[in-house]
Chain A
Amino acid sequence: MDKPKIATASLAGCFGCHMSLLDIDERILKLVELVDFDKSPINDIKEFTGQCLVGLIEGGCCNEENVRVLRDFRKHCDILISVGDCAITGGIPAMRNGIPLEECMNEAYLSGPTVYNPNKIIPNDKEIPLILNKVFPCHEVVKIDYYLPGCPPSADTLWEALVALLNNKPLDLPYELIKYD
């Protein structure tokens, strides 16, 4: 029988949650026995090859490409999980949500104290995904089945969650594993 497949993506995140997944250390060997990885930065598969059991999403949606990827995940994953505070709350990138977009761009590319940009160019190429008015938590864009909070969620949290879901058990995190930092 084929192994169940999982997929992962980092949207507007810092890859810290993916690092945390790697932090499961030697258990990663067990994980590879349990599942195959489909679309994921870990194996660099760019597009889905088929339906997956579990999708792990790191980061919220700050641009149109994030939305496209997230919707693609929703279509291809039976269980979709928001992993980490950015996916769940928008996180650090969402600190811009109270500031008008134009001001953000100016601060980032023109007037910020550490900006070096002698030609005063704000990057704008059709290859660059358009930025959204604000950063959206994933569940405000698609339906999310489970949430693993943390910045990042600990390796144990990720491990516990995956093992439970792969064994068809309800995901019920113990007190020590629900953390927002």
Chain B
Amino acid sequence: MAEQTITFTIDGVEVKGKAGQTIMQAADEAGVYIPRLCAFKDLTPHGSCRVCVVLVNGRPQASCTQPATEGMVVESETEEIQKHRRNIIDMLFVEGNHFCMFCEKSGNCELQAQAYRLGICAPKYPYQFPVRDLDASHPDIFIDHNRCILCGRCVQASRDLDGKTVFEFVNRGTEKKIAVNAEAKLADTDIDISDKACDVCPVGAIIKKHIGFATPVGRRLYDTEPIGSDIEKKN
């Protein structure tokens, strides 16, 4: 059966996609970048960060989970949506403890990169300064909960790609966090440095030891070009 082509618009630009694709998938292929944090290739869209929310015929929908349909009118980088996007990024910054100045992930961090792309110089909300743990028990990997944005990538990657279920969410609301499949620490799990789960963290919450600050400033992923530039270059 031939794949059915569908046509819709994002911010007035015509996009052609295939039936069954999400808005984000179709947009990516068409070279239109929609900002995102939890979405990750090879993983089922989680729809939790809400950075990729767009207006579809006037209604808010997460573009990572919403199927593209014929003739839909999508608004993404409008002033209104960008404002909400900045607010959501601001929320993530004040919710945790993000000390970019000494974070190994800085320059390659997707949260930071989204903030750069959106031109955020300071969050507008008061910092919450939560008290959170750090688990450095494992010889090769550590978890810094201060930086976790609860995107769920590690949960999924460990379960669906590594076949292990090292991570899962526990608690709810403001107390929600990532837990490991052991009574206490990461060292007691069967996680391995080669697991996909160690590679998917968008921020510096799951970090491989011994290789910090490997890339010099200026040559890191988002030093000179905004996140999403690779997609936009297709255009």
Contact = CB atoms under 8 A, between A and B. Distances in A.
Interface of A: 82, 85, 88-92, 94-95, 97-99, 134, 137, 139-140, 144, 146-149, 151, 173, 175-176, 178-181
Contact of B129 (A82, A85, A97): A97
A180 B89 CA distance: 14
Given A98-B130, A180-B112, A181-B106, A91 B99 contact: yes
Contact of B121 (A92, A95, A140, A149): A149
A85 B100 CA distance: 9
In the complex, the 8 A-B pairs of residues with the closest C-beta atoms, listed nearest first: A151-B101, A180-B100, A147-B121, A147-B122, A98-B131, A97-B129, A181-B106, A88-B122
A179 B119 CA distance: 10
15 contacts: A82-B122, A85-B101, A88-B121, A88-B122, A89-B127, A95-B99, A97-B129, A134-B129, A140-B126, A140-B127, A149-B122, A151-B100, A175-B119, A176-B223, A178-B115
A176 B119 contact: no
Nearest to B224: A176
The main secondary structure of chain B at its interface with chain A is loop
A98 B129 contact: yes
B182 interface: no
A175 B122 contact: no
Given A82-B122, A181-B217, 5 more contacts: A95-B99, A146-B121, A175-B119, A176-B223, A181-B106
B126 A181 contact: no
Interface residues of B, number: 28
Given A146-B121, A180-B106, A92 B99 contact: yes
Interface string B61-105: 000000000000000000000000000000000000111111100
A103 to B, nearest CB: 12
Contacts of A180: 100-101, 106, 112, 115
B152 interface: no
Contacts of B129: 90, 94, 97-98, 134
Interface of B: 97-103, 106-107, 112, 115-117, 119-122, 126-127, 129-132, 217, 223-226
A92 B100 CA distance: 10
A173 B226 CA distance: 14
B169 to A, nearest CB: 22
Contacts of B119: 173, 175, 178
A173 B117 CA distance: 12
Contacts of B97: 95, 98
Contacts of B223: 176
Contacts of B224: 175-176
B101 A181 contact: yes
Given A88-B122, A147-B122, A178 B116 contact: yes
A89 to B, nearest CB: 7
B225 to A, nearest CB: 8
Contacts of A140: 126-127
B101 A139 contact: no
B119 to A, nearest CB: 6
Contacts of A181: 100-101, 103, 106-107, 217
A15 B210 CA distance: 30
Contacts of A148: 121
Contacts of A97: 127, 129
Contacts of A146: 121
Contacts of A94: 127, 129
Nearest to A84: B101
Nearest to B107: A181
